[in-house]
Amino acid sequence: MSNHDRLVRETEAHRQAFLSIPIIQRALRGNVSPREYVAFLGQAYQHVRQTVPLMMGMGYHLPERLRWMLPAVAEYIEEEIGHDQWILDDLHACGEDPERIRQAPPMRATELMIAYAHDGIARGNPVSFLGMVFVLEGVSVALATRAAGALQAALGLPKSAFRYLTSHGALDVDHVGFYQQLVDRLEEDEDRHVLIHAANRFYELYGDIFREIHAATSEGKLP
């Protein structure tokens, strides 16, 4: 069994738990409020703006045995630059003030996911960041385009309010094959274990962001 096949198999239970979150189920049916969508974009901005710094940190902390990953990390960095601006543009199209979102602190769940990502790279094994990539890009491919279409129809927002979801989802279709080739080159059991462990944690942490968005918007406590 390839590393990628094992990763998919040993994270499937956490993936299904993530997909069963009520707000995720509602989003697929286009059944979320404009406030929930804006809150989602606000938290997406918080973690997407960290993607390039996280990848830079991953490259810096790679041990000698994993230095072959550097070209792939550099390619990811080049492709990810500017994605946070897409989100701010979407927020502007929703009638929000991008500067307010830029200055706002992250929600608790988002802050914890970001902190876990940085800690795994700096203190643990930088391969852990690939667990975050697996979760976020996998979710994008599975959900982004479907959810964007349903949400646009339900919310009556312009197409320009969904660039992050539609563009990110389309890009991540290409990323999946590249990612699979990357993780299949991992040779050490330690690295394989760290990757699977981190992916399961990121499913939980990312799911907590959606749970907190639902709670905050239900209570009128927008981030």
pLDDT score recorded for residue 84: 94
Q: Taking all residues of the chain, what is their mean pLDDT, rounded to a whole number? A: 90
Token pair, residue 112, equals 């914890």
Q: Locate the domains of the chain by residue range.
A: 3-218
Average the pLDDT over 196-217 and give the result.
96
pLDDT score recorded for residue 44: 95
Helices and strands: H and E segment counts in the chain: 12, 0
pTM above 0.75, yes or no: yes
Q: 1: number of CA atoms within 13 Å, CB side?
A: 9
> What residues contact 176, with CB distance under 8 A and at least 6 apart?
137, 138, 141
Dihedral over alpha carbons 38, 43, 44, 48 (to 10 degrees): 150
Instruction: Label residues 177-210 b or e (16+ Cβ within 10 Å = b).
Output: eebbebbeebeeeebbebbbbbbbbbbebbbbbb
Burial class (CB in 10 A: 0-12, 13-18, 19+), 141: middle
pLDDT digits (tens, 9 = 90+) for 156-168: 888 888 888 877 6
pLDDT classification of 142: cutoffs 50, 70, 90: low
Burial class (CB in 10 A: 0-12, 13-18, 19+), 99: exposed
pLDDT digits (tens, 9 = 90+) for 11-68: 999 999 999 999 999 988 878 888 999 999 999 999 999 999 999 999 999 999 999 9
For residue 222, pLDDT over 70 is answered with no
Helix/strand/coil for 73: helix
pLDDT classification of 106: cutoffs 50, 70, 90: very high
Q: What is the CATH number assigned to the segment(s) 3-218?
A: 1.20.910.10
pLDDT classification of 177: cutoffs 50, 70, 90: confident
pLDDT score recorded for residue 173: 54
pLDDT score recorded for residue 150: 75
Alpha-carbon distance of 6 to 29, in angstroms, equals 31
For residue 153, pLDDT over 80 is answered with no
Alpha-carbon distance of 197 to 128, in angstroms, equals 8
Our CA angle for 89, 36, 51, nearest 5°, is 50
